[in-house]
Structure 1
C-alpha cells in the first residue's frame, strides 16, 4: 500500500482506548479512556486535548461509548458501566474537567462495551459479560445488543452475546454488520432503516477458518465503497473486508498489538483513526511495543468514510430527562 502513512497522535497512551468518533462541527476526535472512566476530545487543528472525567460515585468501573446528541449542543451520551447517561461538555470547559452523569437507561447486564448510532440516529449499544480482575471473561453468552430509540426506550436486538463489539451499516442502509468478539466472526444482518429491525443473521468472515490466527475482531467501520475496516485485538493491524465475498482484501499494520477500534474522520473523511491499548500486555511486551495504547491517524489509504451519526432523541423527552 504505497503512500499509506501511520502517524501517532500527540495524546496520552492509554491502558485501553476505545470508541473513536469524529465530531465534524468542532473538528475533533472523540474517544474513551475506558478504565479511567474518562472521555477524550482531540482537536486536530490546534492539538488541544480535553479530558472529561465521569464521576458516578464509584459505582461503575468503565466508560466505553461517547456520541454527540444532535440538536442539543454540548451534550453527549456516554456509557457508564451498565448505564447509558447524558453529560454536558463544553469546548470552553477546562482541559481536565469532571462531571456527574445523568441516567438515560439502565440494563441488568454487567457493563456496556461498543456502540454507535445508525443512519436514523438510534443508538445501538452492546454489553459484555462480567470479568475478573485480570480482564478475563467469567461468563459467556449472557450479554446483549440493545437499541436506544428516539423516545428513549431500549430494545434488545441480539441476545446470547459474550463480548458485544464492532458494528456498522452498509452505504445502501440494507445491511447491518456486527461483531461478538468471542464468536471470532464478523456477522451480517438484513437491516430495515425505517424501523431499525434486523434479521437473517449469517457469518460473513469466520476468523478461525481464515488466516487471522489468534486475532480477535474488535471495533469496525464501513467506507463509502461498502468495505469493512476492522480492528484486530492481539493482531497489530486493521483489516479491510469485502462484505460481498467475505475476503480480506487489505491490511494495515500498526506499531501497537492490541488494536481496539476505528473510525473515519478529517475534513474529507479520508483519515482512519485507530485506538489501541496496553491491556493484557506483559512488561516485556510493553518494552518491545512502545506505541502500545497510542491513538493513530492512518492516511493515504485511497478510501474514505461517511460522517458519523449522533444520537437523535425526541428533544423534549431528552431535555426533560436531563432536567434542562
Structure 2
C-alpha cells in the first residue's frame, strides 16, 4: 500500500487519541506570508487549526517569512502580509494564549538547526521531494539552494518545538515523512531527542478558484478573507462563465460556473449540485448574485471581528512579540540539546557566560 493509504487507515485511531489525550500532542502548522489569506486557506487549514486548539492541543503556527523567497526574488510586502495573516487568525478564533504565532526570521536557533539536519539527508532525497519538483517547474527558474533544502527547513520548523502532530493534505505527506526520517537518523546517530511526528490528514475540501483552477492570489481568482462586501461582489462579477442558461456542475466543461458553484456551496454547507439545481435556468447572473450573497453572509462575522482587531492599537505587534518570545525560548533550548548530543556542549557553556 502507498503511504497515503497507510496514513489514512491510521486516522480514526489518531483522532481517538487526540480526543482522549489532547495534552499529549503538540501541533506545528503554518503559512508562507505571500499575500492575503483567502477562502482556500480558511477551509483548507485555518478552520482545522481552530478545531485542534479548541480540543486542547498545544499549537504552534509559523509564518514562514524566510520561505517566501524559495520561489521568488524578493519578499514583497511580507511585513504587511504577516500582520494581515495574524488579523485573520485571530478573527477566525485562534487564541494567542493557546496558539503560539511566530515568524521564521525572529527565531535564529530554529534556523540554525538546518545545518546539522542537512547532514542527515542526501541530495537524491531532496530532489525526489514532490514540492521541490512542482515549485521548480512552476517557477521556470534554476533550482536554488533554498528551494532544494525546503523540506529540511520544514523539518526544522516541526522539530525545533518537538511537535508530534502535523496537519497536512495528501500533497504534503512527503514533508512529514522526510521530517520523520531526519528525526530517526538524528536519534540514532546522536541521542534520542526528537519525536517522529505523525501526519494528521485533514478532510478539508479543496477550494477551487472562481475560474475553476486552484484558488490563488496570483491567478486573480481568490476571495480574500479581508475583502469588503463590495470587493467580493466585484471579483465574483468579473468571473468568466458562459452563455448557457441552465446552470450545471461540470468542473471540466464549465470551470467558471463550477468554481462559483463550489465556493457558494462551501459557504452554504451544501453540495455544488444542490446549488445548481436551485438556480436551474436562471442563468449565470443569478449564480453570481447567489454566490456573492453566500460568501458575504458567511464571512460577515469574521470580517466584523477582523475590523475590531485591526482597530486595536498594537494588538497584532503584541501577539507576534509574545509568540516570537516563546518560540525563541523553546528553540534555544532545543539547539542547546542538539549541541550537547553532538559533542558541542562547549558552545552552550561559552554562550552562558
Q: TM-score, normalised by structure 2?
A: 0.26
Query: Which has more strand, going by share of residues?
Result: 1
* Higher-helix-fraction structure: 2
> TM-score, normalising length from structure 1?
0.28
